[in-house]
Amino acid sequence: MGTSQYDPRPPDRRAWNSGWKVGAKRALKPKQVWAIRFFLDQHHRIRNRALFDLAIDSKLRGCDVVKIRIGDLVASGQIRSRAIVVQSKTGKPVQFELMADARASLLTWLERRGGTLADYAFPSRLDYKDHLSARQYARLVQEWVMSIGLRREEYGTHSLRRTKASIIYKATGNLRAVQILLGHSKIENTVRYLGVDVEDALALAENTEI
């Protein structure tokens, strides 16, 4: 589609995403997850380590990760091994597990953070009563992936959401389980989200004997 002399838009104006890779972001590999954890620990980034671990284990969208409240994660003074939140996009609840590493990093952060069960786990630095913004979370993710030599254009907040789901799928081939964990209403959405293709299906078939 061309432009006209009557088009009020400046002809040399670049698109907002010019030079950026758009589309699905890559999931992290296990060794990359541990590399980011090492970087955050090395630099004593307690809040960021807890946020990263929560994002990986919860498999939540960024808009839901930043709105997690302390009460969603804590029960009787301990970090829950399983938690449940209502997704902003669908309005439906989704459960997730918190593994030992995530529970440890979250406990360390929340002990330093303080607050009540009704407070956000990751408050905004501009307004302590508000939550960390999704934009700031996205900036942190870019910082984390760049710290281990990855291209920021290829990774984003959805990379963290996809990471554990992709690992579970590759290990089990169980799309239905991954669908439940991601909170997808249709399995077709899970297929597209994971990028499942014919090669994946054939590889699973080849490893299954009857």
Residue 188, number of CB atoms within 10 A of its CB: 11
Question: How far is residue 163's CA from residue 145's CA, in Å, rounded to a whole number?
Answer: 13
Question: How far is residue 56's CA from residue 157's CA, in Å, rounded to a whole number?
Answer: 10
Question: How far is residue 188's CA from residue 161's CA, in Å, rounded to a whole number?
Answer: 17
Residue-level pLDDT at 92: 85
What CA–CA distances, in Å, run from 104 to 31, 32, 80, 94, 118? Answer: 20, 20, 11, 22, 21
Residue-level pLDDT at 180: 81
CA atoms within 13 A on the CB side of 136: 14
* Sequence-ordered strand ranges (E) for 49-201: 74-75, 78-79, 82-86, 93-97
Residue-level pLDDT at 210: 54
Query: Which domains are assigned to the chain?
Result: 30-207 (1.10.443.10)
- With a CB cutoff of 8 Å and minimum separation 6, the contacts of 149 are none
Strand partners, 69: 120
Question: How far is residue 50's CA from residue 37's CA, in Å, rounded to a whole number?
Answer: 10
Question: How far is residue 32's CA from residue 52's CA, in Å, rounded to a whole number?
Answer: 12
Residue-level pLDDT at 209: 57
Question: How far is residue 110's CA from residue 121's CA, in Å, rounded to a whole number?
Answer: 7
Which tokens hold the place of 182?
């991601």
Residue-level pLDDT at 75: 94
pLDDT in tens, the chain (210 residues): 444 444 444 455 554 344 444 456 888 999 999 999 999 999 999 999 999 999 999 999 999 999 999 999 999 989 999 999 998 888 888 889 999 999 999 999 999 999 999 999 999 988 888 999 999 999 999 999 999 999 999 999 999 988 888 888 888 877 888 888 888 878 777 777 676 554 555 565 556 555
CA atoms within 13 A on the CB side of 33: 23
**Identity of residue 159:** S
pTM for this model (two decimals): 0.79
**Identity of residue 187:** I
